[in-house]
Amino acid sequence: MLRLYSSEKYKSVKHFIDWLATFGETEDGGVTRLLYTKEWKNAQNALKQEMSEMGMETYFDTVGNLFGRIEGIKDKQHVILTGSHIDTVVDGGKYDGTYGVIASLLATKMLLEQYGRPQKTIEVVSLCEEEGSRFPLTYWGSKNITGEYSLENIRYLRDLNDISFQHAMGEAGFPIASYQNNKRNDIKRFIEVHIEQGSILEKNKADIGLVTHIVGQCRYTVQLIGESNHAGTTPMAERKDPMVCAANCIVTLTKKAEASYYQGLRVTVGSINAEPNVSNVIAKSVSFTLDVRHHEKDILQEYCEDMIQMIKEKAMKSGIQISIKKWADSEPVALDTSLHSVMRKIIKNKGLRDMEMVSGAGHDSQILGIHYPTTLFFVPSHKGISHSPLEFTSLEDLENGVSVLKEILYKLAYEGVEL
Ligand code: HGY
Ligand code: MN
Ligand code: MN
């Protein structure tokens, strides 16, 4: 099996995974590294240091996407971009996003070590935010690169501690005053390696997943406003209890998702908050999030419209006021598969097995893939666990991903394979 670095000077993929996991590590071995927090800033700056020590020219754009650039000998202008996101969910795993950043760093470093500078420019990117775990907004990094996002999209956003996006951005060293359009028109291709976050590869004993499509996803925050009152003196028939209404809605929308018509639909209520959140007070308001995903746009849309209508009707029947905010809406994306045949040969030559698959998780490739030819491939997640401290991928699988990435980058940036 390929050893990444013989000398102590360059460390293995496991070393980097464990090292980056120290930025935001939680008591139960997970990682919480939210956009623009201290942990996030320290991780980005430490990565920047590593990139420059590896001989890369490093820079941030004005929202905190970090780039490590190796200019091409022949073609300086067009960039082969590779990387993933550095932010995590709350108490997530140490591989989601992070692995893709590290794999890109190491693959590029290995190429530099073995072959010197490439013919075409390679840039490794540590994207500032993908998850939507701190503020109600996803893909802040990649949608700045594509030009879909600007300050308008974050002007009024606040996190659960009532800290404004703008303030957090400034605190992390990216003041609003220095914001500029970060749109990139020089990207020739984007390649991302990511953990699968599901169990398909493991169940099929495959080593590499070649992703053909990424599901569409919509995310909402539903707020139900009733009347808070005394838990003991208020008769059941006289209540406007948003907690009961929320419970009815959640049961109905998840039951609906199980209907065979919605085959493949995934619906998650991941967060629920009550105000004043006290055991002997009927809640004044309850807000919950709704995360809906499907690989077909019209099924996704139909389900969402039906469910929003259902929630409104239930609220009206119980005299509850309602506000619904849709804050994420990414279409299902078909990724570029022109590299798959070349990748299959690389994978076969390594004695590895691949399979084509759809991604149920969202990825930066979903955004970049609409604007630039984009290749996304997976390495297995043990037992399919992700967004959890129990997230795990074996060293062998991690190294397989790095070595496949290295070879495909070699084809593109050194051999100049035009695809
Ligand atoms: O939620 C997702 O699918 C991804 O991990 N951001
Ligand atoms: Mn991810
Ligand atoms: Mn994730």
Q: Using a 6 Å cutoff on CB, does residue 362 contact ligand 1?
A: yes
**How many Å lie between the centroid of ligand 3 and the Cα of residue 96?**
6
Ligand 2: centre distance to CA 121 (Å):
25
Determine the distance separating the centroid of ligand 1 and the alpha carbon of 361, expressed in angstroms.
5
Angle, CA of 199, 205 and 208, to the nearest 5°: 80
**Any atom of ligand 1 within 6 Å of the Cβ of 361:** yes
Task: With both helix axes pointing from N to C terminus, report the angle between 13-21 and 38-53 in degrees, rounded to the nearest 10.
Answer: 150
142 Cα–ligand 3 center, Å = 14
- Closest residue by Cα to residue 56 from 141, 142, 121, 127: 121
130 lines ligand 1 (CB under 6 A): yes
Rounded to whole angstroms, what are the CA distances from 172 to 3, 107, 316, 343? 37, 29, 43, 39
Minimum-distance ligand 1 atom for the alpha carbon of 361: 3
| Binding site membership of 92 for ligand 1 (Cβ less than 6 Å) | no
Expressed in angstroms and rounded, the spacing between residue 99 Cα and the centre of ligand 2 is 9
Beta strand pairing status for 333-334 and 208-214?
Answer: antiparallel
Show Cβ contacts of residue 144 under 8 Å, excluding neighbours closer than 6 positions.
61, 63, 65, 150, 182, 183
76 with 119: CB under 8 angstroms?
no
Please say whether the beta carbons of 66 and 52 come within 8 A: no
Tokens of 249: 């809605």
Which residue of 33, 85, 131, 381 sits with most ligand 1 atoms within 8 Å of its CB, as the best mutation to test the pocket?
A: 131
> Domain limits of the chain?
13-215+332-414, 216-330
Determine if ligand 1 sits within 6 Å of the CB of residue 292: no
Contact 399, 2 (CB under 8 A): yes
Ligand 1 centre distance from Cα of residue 198 (Å) = 11
Binding site membership of 93 for ligand 1 (Cβ less than 6 Å): no
pLDDT at 419: 58
Q: Is 131 a pocket residue for ligand 1 (Cβ < 6 Å)?
A: yes
Task: Identify the pLDDT of residue 416.
Answer: 79
Q: Which residues of 63-83 are buried (b: 16+ CB within 10 A; e: fewer)?
A: bbbbbbbbbbeebeeebbbbb
Atom of ligand 1 nearest to the CA of 96: 5
CB 217 within 8 A of CB 386: no
Identify residue 403 by its one-letter amino acid code: S
- Residue 182 CA to ligand 3 centre (angstroms): 23
In the predicted model, residues of the chain with pLDDT beneath 70 are 1-11, 418-419
CATH of domain 13-215+332-414: 3.40.630.10
Atom 4 in ligand 1: which residue has the minimum CA distance?
Answer: 362
**CATH number of the structural domain 216-330:** 3.30.70.360
Longest dimension (CA), the chain: 79
Torsion of CA 373, 331, 259, 360, to 10 degrees: 40
In single-letter form, the type of residue at position 85 comes to H
CA 189 to CA 91: how far, in whole Å?
32
